[in-house]
Copies of this chain bind each other. A is one copy, B any other.
Amino acid sequence: MKTYLDCIPCFFKQALFAARTAIDDEAKIKEVLDRIGLLVSEIPLDSTPPETGRQVYRTVREVTGVEDPFKELKKENIETALKLYPALKQTVETAEDPLETAVRLAIAGNVIDFGANPDFQLEQNIQEVLHREPAINHYQAFKEKLECAQNILYLGDNAGETVFDKILIETMAKPVTYAVRESPVINDATAQDAIDSGLDKVALVVSSGCDAPGTVLAACSDQFLDCFKKADMIISKGQGNYETLSNEERPIFYLLMAKCPIIARDLGVKVRDTVIKS
């Protein structure tokens, strides 16, 4: 997905939120915004939003000196999700179609997002997503693809959401490689967050090699690109991965909640709609 002009005010909003989460120093936070200001003219509109997001969050880290502003929030979200795990697991196991329920839960977990959606309500959202029809629903294609898939690449998104991903991976019962960001960016999951969520018990956890809040292939490691090429099914979680991969010709299934009006418009859905898209 290209960068829309509407993304530009949003980069400032996100930088402000991240910088305020990192430090309590108005002059320094202003310096972050000053530097993002200088970036604007260098944003090509045919690049994807996470390519700029990468620079925005790098600037926040450089100016504030805080490597991972969302560290504590990520930890809390993983803990909250782990507490929900037994009940969610039971919901899946007693469902008429456990796979479908697990897919919906994995999408419900995508509400945990400090980039596009800092004021999320997790538990309320789970019930809503479980009972609402996805606005784009390629679940049948997902199910059929899964039946014959032998080499699944699962692209993670946010810390905490990772626990919901674990439930889907357990329900799929197939060999899965789970890819995370190379280093902290917003509340996206890193290898440590994946391990803290127990994903190393059910999948091979790898890094994409990239520190963007998405999967910018040009910035990914050779090892990851090899996984990406060889996978016979790719499950892509969240907005950032969709934004960076939506033009790729690979067997990708996007599972996400549309949290910003721009992505919603790009997908032809409404804000808060859920999507299972091949």
Q: Interface 1/0s, chain A 202-218, versus B by CB < 8 A?
A: 00000000000000000
Q: Which residues of B contact A41 (CB under 8 A)?
A: 34, 37-38
Q: Interface 1/0s, chain A 23-44, versus B by CB < 8 A?
A: 0001001100110111111000
Q: Interface 1/0s, chain A 227-240, versus B by CB < 8 A?
A: 00000000000000
Copy number in this complex? 2
**For the complex, is A8 an interface residue (Cβ under 8 Å from B)?**
yes
**For the complex, is A126 an interface residue (Cβ under 8 Å from B)?**
no
Expressed in whole angstroms, the Cα–Cα distance for A160 and B28 within the complex equals 41
Chain A interface residues (CB < 8 Å from chain B): 5-6, 8-10, 12-13, 16, 20, 26, 29-30, 33-34, 36-41, 45
Could you write out 21 A-B pairs with CB less than 8 Å apart? A5-B29, A5-B30, A6-B16, A8-B12, A8-B16, A8-B33, A9-B9, A9-B12, A9-B13, A9-B16, A12-B12, A30-B45, A33-B40, A34-B41, A36-B37, A36-B40, A37-B38, A37-B39, A38-B38, A38-B40, A38-B41
